[in-house]
Structures are given as C-alpha cells and as structure tokens.
Amino acid sequence: MANQFQLFKRRRFSAMFFTQFLGAFNDNIFKQALILVLTYTAASQLGVEVSILNNLAAMLFILPYFLFSALAGQIADKYEKSKLTQITKLLELSIMVIAAVGFVFEWYALLFVALFLMGTQSTFFGPIKYAYLPQAMKGEELVGANGLFQMGTSLAILLGMIIAGVLTQLPQSLYWISAVVLIVAILGYVSARSIPNMPAMQPDIKINWNIFTTSIATVRYLYSLPFLYFIILGNSWFWFYGATFLTQTPEFSKVILHGDESVVIFLLTLFSVGVSIGSLLCKTLTKNQVSLRLLPFGIAGLSIFAIDLYFSLSGLSIDMSQEKLLGVGELFHVAGSWRVFADLFFLGFSGGLYIVPLYASMQAYAPKSHRARIVGANNIFNAIFMVSSAIFAIVLLNSLKLSLPQLFLITGVLNIIFGIFLFLKLNKHIKQAMIQTHDE
C-alpha cells in the first residue's frame, strides 16, 4: 500500500487527483447545502414534499450526463486534456457565481439552474479524467491510481457534505456557502494548471454536435464490445444502488432516526469511509493486477448489508413524539443503532470492492483511440440508471407508499439478481476482451 501513495510524488497523478478532488468537493458542498436547505427550510416554505424536492434535485444534476456524455467523449478524444480540464474549471467558477446569487437571494429556481449547469460541467470533465488515467499511468499503476481516485472522490463527497452541514449552521449561512464554493472553484482552476500536457488520442476525429445521433452512435459502438458493455452496466448499477441510498439519507435521518443535520453527515461519513477503505484495499487484494476476482465479494456485501439494514431499522425503538431532533451522541444510546451504523459502513466497504475493479477494467480494455468515448458511454448509462433510481424511489415511496427500510430491502434483493447476471456475463466475455487488447 505504501507504493500506492508514492503516486502523489508524481505530478502526472497528483495534479489531476487534486483537480478531481476539489471538483467533487465543490459539487458536494453545493449539492448538500441545497438539499439541507430544501429538507429543513424550503420544503415548508414552498409547500412541497421533501422527497419530491430531493429526488428532483438528484435528477436535475444527472440529466446532463444523459444528454451530453457522448459529445464530451468525442471532445476528450480530440483535444489535449490539460487545456480541456482548465476550461472546465473556468466553467465551474462561472457556475458557482450563479449559485452564489441564488443562495444569497434565496432564488430556488436559480439554484436548480445552477445544479443543472454543475451537472453539465461534470459531464464534460468525466471523460477527460478517466481517459487521462490510463494514458498517464503505467500498467502496474492503474489499479492503485483508480483506488486512490475512488478514495479521493469518496472523501471529497464526504468532506463536501460535512462542510455544507457546518456552513448551514452558521449565522448568515447562505453568504458563507456562496463564498466557500467560489474559493474552492478558484483552487480547482489553480490545480488544473499543473496538469502536464497529455496528447489527444484521436485529433482527426470530426465532432458530431448533434447530441442525440452522437449518443446513439456511441452506445452502438459500445454494444459491439460485449465485455465493456457489461462492465459499464455493472458500473451504472453501482450508481443506481448508491443513489438509491444516498439521496434518501436526509429524509432517512430525520424521519426514521429522528436525527438532526449532524446525523445526516455522520451516516454519510460511515458510508464514504467504508468506500474509501474498500477502494484502497483493492490494490493489495488483487496484487496490483486488473482483475474481477473481488467482484463477487462486493456484490454479496452490497446485498447482505442492505437486507440487514431493513431488519436493523425495523428493530429500532425511537420516541418520535419529542420535538427535539436527536444528535449523533444521543443516537448512540438508542438500542440497535450500532447495527444500523455497521450496516452503512459495510455497504460502503462492499461498494469499494465492487467499483474499483470495474473502473480499472474499463480503462484497461477500452480501445485507446476510443477510450474517452467509452467513458462517455459509461456516463450515459450512469445517468440512465441514476435517473431511474430517482424515479424508482419516487414510485416506491410516494406512489406505492412503501417505507424507506422497505426500499432498502427491495434494492438489496434486486442486487442479488443483477449481480449473478453480471458476473456470469463478464466471465463469458473476458477472454475475448483480453485477445482484442493484446492485438492492439
């Protein structure tokens, strides 16, 4: 594991790592601050149910991935990546100016516009960063680099949410949020300027600006590569799964655990630290090889701990009649709460074991000339699955009137079915993928 952290001494890794880290950090300060405002303030002001507002926010952030990912993949294959990254960071700064105005004046419509634009900016950055890694890293560094990236992303999400929670508690909180997102955007641009030049993989490509025909062509190309197609289905399922749990966390904390904002952050901390530890261990457990041997353990853990979460929540006894919401310290004294906390941690840990091998395999086996477009196709499927997650949650919670624990139980059972299907398909096609990569 020591060798894994040696990558931070190399500018080709560290500059992109911190650019990505700061971007994810800023995304989540903004998103979590908005969700907390919607959950604890705006919902009552607007007279709209919390779950509808939160799931609407999740869909708005994800929609650009569906619309623009194929176009973003073409651009990332055609142009040099360090300059593209700097442009996306300047866009982030501009969007944060819009968000700051929305927070200061409490214009919720403008904040939703900024959320959509942040999703768009992230859409164009995604193919750049994931196509950059296999180009900048040596073969034996790829799994370790992906583990660190996944750890960094998880910690950035966590820290962003914690900072958002702290900022919303301050006097003049909306001004503090506005200032912080602007400062982090500036730091992200400064970091991007240190990324070394990384030549375009296909500079002669003619960009098709029609987002619909481009998306269809990208998905069609992916479908001609069965192993990568199922790798990306597996990636996208992880985002469906994670979004189903994480989007409901504020409501889960308030409605089931009767917890305040600090409980939201604590639950997200458990999940994110679990993902980070699982991701970092992948390098050691796979002996630095691009391999899917950890996938069954990840699949099993995601189901076991989701199903157990249903039973652990069903066994809780919390007095909901008291007006004061519980803090983290008070929840520790509730019988059965430790089991809930353990389930969330091991859900994250299993997710780390699941996702890192899939990302490393996608990068290792994607044709070099189409690598960014493969990442673009991955983002299209991620978007479809995450929007589906929001619709899935709205239908189960609002239309069928199921409880949050029942939602978690159903998701865990679905994961067993999907996981078996995925593992069988990947085993069937992996030899063909290895031969194609060797022929390159």
Distance of alpha carbon 131 from alpha carbon 362, whole angstroms: 10
What per-residue string of b and e applies to 338-360 under the rule 16 or more CB within 10 Å gives b? eebbbbbbbbbbbbbbbbbbbbb
- Written in H, E and C, the secondary structure of 325-348 is CECHHHHCCCCCHHHHHHHHHHHH
Please name each of the domains of the chain with its CATH number: 10-194+218-439 (1.20.1250.20)
8-state DSSP, 205: P
- For 152-203, how does the pLDDT look when each residue is reduced to its tens digit (9 = 90+)? 888 898 888 888 888 888 888 888 999 999 999 999 999 999 998 888 888 8
Q: What is the pLDDT of residue 169?
A: 81
Quick check: 146 and 359 in contact, CB under 8 A? yes
Phi-psi region of 197 (alpha: psi -120 to 50; beta: other; left: phi over 0): beta
Mean of the per-residue pLDDT values of the chain: 85
Nearest to 188 by CA among 116, 122, 123: 122
Secondary structure (DSSP) of 338-394: HHHHHHHHHHHHHHHHHHHHHHHHHHHHS-GGGHHHHHHHHHHHHHHHHHHHHHHHH
Quick check: 382 and 234 in contact, CB under 8 A? no
Q: What is the pLDDT of residue 297?
A: 95
Q: Which helix (H) or strand (E) holds 285?
A: helix 261-285
Q: What is the pLDDT of residue 92?
A: 94
Which residues of the chain have a pLDDT value below 50?
1, 438
pTM of the model: 0.80
For the record, the structure tokens of 391 come out as 């619709």
Distance of alpha carbon 59 from alpha carbon 70, whole angstroms: 19
Distance of alpha carbon 351 from alpha carbon 416, whole angstroms: 14
First to last CA, the chain: 31
Which position has the token pair 């809930």? 340
